[in-house]
Amino acid sequence: MRNPLLENWTTRFEIPPFVRITDDHFAPAFDQAFRQSRAAVKAIAEDPATPGFANTIEALERADALMDRVAGVFFNLTGANSNPALEELQRDLSPKFADLHSETMMNAALFARVDKLFQNKDTLGLTAEQSRVLELYHRMFLRAGAALKGEDRTRLAKVTKRLAVLGTAFTQNLLADERDWFMQLGKGDLDGLPDFLRDAAAQAAKERDKGGYAITLSRSLIVPFLQFSSRRDLREKAYLAWGARGENGGDTDNLAIVTETLALREIRAHLLGYASFADFKLAPEMAKTPEAVRDLLMAVWKPAKAQADRDAEILTDMMHSEGVNGDLEPWDWRHYAAKRRLAEHDLNEAELKPYFQLNRMIDAAFDCANRLFGLTFHALDVPLYHADARAWEVRKDGKHLAVFIGDYFARPAKRSGAWCSRFRSQSRLDGEVRPITVNVCNFAKAPEGQPSLLTFDDAHTLFHEFGHALHSMLSDVTYQMIAGTSVARDFVELPSQLFEHWLTVPEVLQEFATHAQTGVNIPQDLLERLLAARNFDQGFATVEYTASALVDLDFHAGVAPADPMAKQAETLARLGMPHAIRMRHATPHFAHVFAGDGYSSGYYSYMWSEVMDADAFEAFEEAGNAFDPELAARLERHIYSAGGSKEADALYTAFRGKMPGVEALLKGRGLDESA
């Protein structure tokens, strides 16, 4: 049987031939990819020729070509359109990937070649980009244990393999909890819910073959439910289920996984010579040390908590005035905050939401990319992996730049959250290879025939993920190792968070925020009220995020806790966490940290990047033009197109002239004058 994953793709722009790919194709394709990768590594390591950049580093860049292609399809599907067969294969593949990685990184002959090149790099006549790539390869080998000897090498390989298995299990447990739970509502349970939320809940029930209405654990459904429902009992039920993901006992409980993961990460760090996993993880990042991370987070925590405490008093008084006694609870905060926003800013989500149509917000993001970077977007009629996904060809100066795929709606087979990924990365090593980039979101899908509407927060998410996509699509480097988003973890959120600023540029909203029924542009007074309230409830938002980042740091900056939930409670108690606010991501469903180690000890990176994005957008404000051509060109050259071609601080300084302080962030969040 012919396997399309192993053939050359003759589709337009070599988009994966989704209609021909079945679940059964993946296992044999991976078998072939593992064989090819191992053979390529063996050939490089045993090459009798003197080590050179071409026969070692460039050869390593090519070694996983088939693996990259097969895995690019597979892992995008397991995130966005999974099923039991794919999940079973994912569990089987996790240790195999770990074995391949350890075999490659701990291949003594291979590392000897890389190390020899690194020690003599100044005599090799390398370009600046080649020198950077060599440096990163050498660092990658060292951080993977290439210099270890004897039992330490064996032990690290076992630890790495086990961590891969645990990360996959954590992810699949979380997906199962999110997929399986929903709260069915009858007509008597809809008190306070606006029409847009009733429509979305009806659609969610229909997708689950249920009548009536359903609230799921998708943020796009549960957050507005918590805002609008006047049924406190149902708000509590929904909130507690949302918070209990990964902590329900039974086969999908993640607590044992978390405990073992933290212990193994500590072992890994010690084997590599670091005092803690946080020290190990932060060494190559901009922050460098746990102390620098803690300093940033605590500089923000104090004013944010002070604001949240003041807000909690106001919301409690509002609740008591309605005859609801007792403490303000987490399932009350959003409800009374929405009422307060209506009272203080005359803003109601039901009034606002019709102006934020999904399609118009996509158009707005495309238009901003056009005005900043000269990109144009052209709809493609091509088969994709799901009927809800859609694709565009992206051009710059009339030439093909990338394919962009948008997959925007929540469904049971998709994990929660929003992310940017790739089916193919940009490179020029063997001719121009242009990326295929995908944004995956979990917005509520409107009933058939009706436009899908976003909250203002959803619109920010769309712009955020599209900022990542621009970072991927504008990439202009030779080597995949440094392409696109292959940058320091605490720098990778800069392009995404910075692009969010253009959503709130008044002229953008004036053009693209149009009413779903009437087509009328957002009224000036509503626009002014919206922008005036942009920092509303920032005490809450900052506290729930910063608490999560500090718990992550505490987990990894010392001895691994034997009881992570007790450690979480200890950290929150020390901080004085407000009673009515919980962590944005409690430990058993903290996928950023435990689904893999991408953001482990690194959840702070959103805030680290926010220091830069606030400062970077100030440059446009100082210029008096949000689309200043000179600034946009510098932004593209030094941030969006440069990938990891230089250290992150060098890239930022090339754009802005200096590194920023925390002041711009506090100002941007409206916390600069908080006590």
pLDDT digits 0-9 by tens, 458-514: 999 999 999 999 999 999 999 999 999 999 999 999 999 999 999 999 999 999 999
Residue 173 lies in a domain: no
**Are 186 and 136 members of one domain?**
no
**Are 122 and 238 members of one domain?**
no
Residue 585 lies in a domain: no
Q: pLDDT tens-digit profile of 292-346?
A: 999 999 999 999 999 999 999 999 999 999 999 999 999 999 999 999 999 999 9
In the block, which residue shows the tokens 């490659």?
104
**Are 111 and 217 members of one domain?**
no
pLDDT at 675: 37
**Are 131 and 10 members of one domain?**
yes
In the block, which residue shows the tokens 């506290």?
543
Residues 6 or more apart in contact with residue 129 via CB below 8 angstroms: 477, 478, 479, 482, 645
Residue 240 lies in a domain: yes
465 part of the active site: yes
pLDDT at 673: 62
- pLDDT range class, residue 350, cuts 50, 70, 90: confident
pLDDT at 332: 98
Show the domain range for 135: 4-147
pLDDT at 366: 98
What are the phi and psi torsion angles at 625 (to 5°)? -155, 115
**Are 73 and 143 members of one domain?**
yes
pLDDT at 668: 87
Q: Which amino acid is at 634?
A: R
**Are 14 and 142 members of one domain?**
yes
Residue 631 lies in a domain: no
How far is residue 590's CA from residue 603's CA, in Å, rounded to a whole number?
A: 10
Whichever domain contains 53, its CATH number is 1.20.1050.40
Which is nearest to 173 in space by CA: 250, 76, 265?
250
**Are 142 and 201 members of one domain?**
no
Residue 62 lies in a domain: yes
Residue 45 lies in a domain: yes
**Are 142 and 20 members of one domain?**
yes
The last residue of a domain, from among 245, 269, 296: 245
- On average, the pLDDT of the chain sits at 96
Residue 76 lies in a domain: yes
**Are 68 and 194 members of one domain?**
no
The last residue of a domain, from among 198, 228, 245: 245
In the block, which residue shows the tokens 């072992």?
267
Residue 10 lies in a domain: yes
Q: pLDDT tens-digit profile of 236-287?
A: 999 999 999 999 999 999 999 999 999 999 999 999 999 999 999 999 999 9
The last residue of a domain, from among 104, 127, 147: 147
Q: Is the model's pLDDT at 4 over the cut of 90?
A: yes
**Are 92 and 190 members of one domain?**
no
How far is residue 291's CA from residue 118's CA, in Å, rounded to a whole number?
A: 30
**Are 140 and 188 members of one domain?**
no
Q: Long-range pairs for 156-160 at CB < 8 Å and ≥24 separation?
A: 156/102, 156/106, 156/268, 156/271, 156/272, 157/98, 157/99, 157/102, 157/106, 159/264, 159/267, 159/268, 159/271, 160/98, 160/101, 160/102, 160/268
Q: pLDDT tens-digit profile of 356-386?
A: 999 999 999 999 999 999 999 999 999 999 9
Residues 6 or more apart in contact with residue 557 via CB below 8 angstroms: 276, 277, 278, 279, 290, 294, 601
Using the 8-state DSSP alphabet, how is residue 376 labeled? E
Instruction: Considering the candidates 266, 465, 544, 610, report the single residue annotated as catalytic.
Output: 465
Residues 6 or more apart in contact with residue 153 via CB below 8 angstroms: 106, 145
Which is nearest to 15 in space by CA: 402, 308, 345?
402
**Are 21 and 116 members of one domain?**
yes
Q: Is the model's pLDDT at 674 over the cut of 50?
A: no
Using the 8-state DSSP alphabet, how is residue 426 labeled? -
Domain count of the fold of the chain: 2
pLDDT at 586: 95
Q: pLDDT tens-digit profile of 83-117?
A: 999 999 999 999 999 999 999 999 999 999 999 99
